[in-house]
Amino acid sequence: MKKININVHVALLGIVLGVLITMLVNKVTDSEKKFDGDYNRWRKLNLILQEVQKNYVDTIDMEGMTDAAVVAALSELDPHSVYLPPVELTESETELAGNFEGIGITFNVPNDTAIVLSPVPGGPSEKAGLVQGDRIVRVNDIDIAGVKMPQDSMIRLMKGPSGTKVKITVCRDGEIIPFDIVRDKIPMHSVDAAFMIDDTTGYIKLSKFTRSTYKEFRDASARLLEQGMTRLIFDLRNNTGGYFDQAWLLANEFLEKGDGVVYMEGLHRPRQDYDADGRGKLKDIELSVLIDEGSASSSEIFAGAIQDNDRGVIIGRRSFGKGLVQEPINFTDGSGLRLTVARFHTPSGRCIQKPYDKDYAYDIIERYAHGEMTSADSMKVDTTSVYYTSKGRRVYGGGGIIPDIFVAMDTTRASSFFIKAGKKATQLRFASAMFDRYKSTLAPINDFDELETYLDDIGLESLFLDYAERTDGIKPGPGEWEQSKDYMMPQIKGLVGRYSKVGEEAFYRFYLPIDDALQAALKNSGVVE
């Protein structure tokens, strides 16, 4: 069966290379049809394409077959060597660039309708007059409300080159209002939240490593230093990575001159080491780094550097294990490859990349199944792959970064009511309903303490339970609200609080008391003994 799969991939790849090399060949001689068995010379691929072109029963969609051939060929390599058609390549590069061209809003879709959470300050939407709570019903002449349009499709309709116009029609207080908006460059932020937890402890949540990450982090940490920060909890959970140089720059902020950050090495790439230059401004700050199974790539480079240099404490669960170096190779038609050329290793020598075998795509599911999310003893540790930190502590290879302090996923709060509400997105839709009801008093609030008092005063708990039963037909069974209340109410407050001027920070602040990993960090000094 394996031979059949290989032949399919080889035949498809032949189409790709043949298009580039042999389209001008009009005739194939008998001698040219002979294959000498040397696959390294790619000759068989050309011969296959020539035969397909000459003999296939129907007209060939060369563009479609080319893309399919590349995808099939690369599937024989590692899971992260990928071909990106022009549209996907553009989207991939835009996401990491730290800006995009569009109308400048953040929104969610709780009820099959895009609701503006906030216009980007100074952006095209704010200048045109869009406000928080507007429901977008139409983009140009295309209805997007109530038609079950995927959110990424909505985004594509709103995005576009700077200087182009788009008509955004919204429903505001029952009135339909059209806006002509001129698209422009919109900054994308990677620091989701940055604030002081107490008089000395700062918290920064980083969602990805974009081109603007270091600048954002530097600005955020400077503000926290001015407020008295002597220790930092740096949250990299569910951060899937991004630009490598940004990870080096962030690690460099904490490390001494000459400390290793990472090195990369591959068959065609000699070892290249990246060390700290000693110019960082946070070398004296106590550091705790939060990671989980969603932390990958650049997140793991940062965490591995901090751990191997005994610079801080890593807290949470084993990271994803993505440590391959992708080199971009772009083509003139707008498509491109992201080809793996080397592997990342932590300063002690650990390879960050986990093994990629037949179960690679299901690794996270396997972690759940084997109990790794709830028990440190169930964690996969390759005890035969031993490395040592700068202070001589043992650390293990096998893929991913294993935390110094394990924090289990809490599954005890998931009552039947909680699960039903989650399936129906009750909390999200409730937050939208609360904004509609209280926006005149909720939206202007820009102080967290004031926001917390306000939400308590309006009786948010009873309002939510009433909404869940009246709108979604669900209510807690005996003991279920007591089981889930302490977990759900901070989440609900955070979702409602996002509609105030406190913004995204509200969610993280409300969530702090029930965040087990963060509480573990607060109990730990961040200093490795």
* C-beta neighbour count of 97 within 10 angstroms: 15
Q: How far, in Å, are 80, 110, 273 from residue 301 at the CA level?
A: 17, 36, 13
SS3 content of the chain, % helix, strand, coil (to 5): 40, 20, 40
Closest CA to 476 of 488, 459, 460, 494: 488
**What gap in Å lies between CA 460 and CA 443, rounded to an integer?**
16
- What pLDDT was estimated at residue 41? 63
Residue 19 has pLDDT above 70, yes or no: no
For the chain, domain boundaries: 2-76, 99-187, 191-409, 416-517
**What gap in Å lies between CA 430 and CA 441, rounded to an integer?**
17
Closest CA to 94 of 253, 211, 191, 202: 211
Q: Using one digit for the tens of pLDDT, what is the confidence trace for 95-121? A: 555 556 888 888 878 778 888 887 876
Q: Using one digit for the tens of pLDDT, what is the confidence trace for 235-246? A: 999 998 988 999
Please, which residues have CB within 8 angstroms of residue 155's CB and are 6 or more apart in sequence? Answer: 102
Amino acid (one-letter) located at 485: K
Q: How far, in Å, are 103, 180, 197, 245, 315 from residue 166 at the CA level?
A: 8, 6, 42, 36, 46
How would DSSP label each residue in 126-187?
HHHT--TTPEEEEETTEE-SSS---HHHHHHHH---TT-EEEEEEEETTEEEEEEEE-EEEE
Q: Is the pLDDT higher at 189 or at 304? A: 304
pTM of the shown model: 0.79
Q: Using one digit for the tens of pLDDT, what is the confidence trace for 222-232? A: 999 999 999 99
Pick the CATH number of 191-409 from 3.40.50.1110, 3.90.380.10, 3.90.226.10, 3.30.70.330: 3.90.226.10
Whether domain 99-187 has CATH 2.40.40.20: the reply is no
- What pLDDT was estimated at residue 264? 96
Q: Using one digit for the tens of pLDDT, what is the confidence trace for 139-186? A: 999 999 988 888 878 888 898 888 899 999 999 888 898 888 889 887
Q: Where are the beta strands (DSSP E) in 26-150?
A: 82-84, 99-102, 105-108, 114-119, 135-139, 142-143
Closest CA to 441 of 449, 433, 432, 451: 451
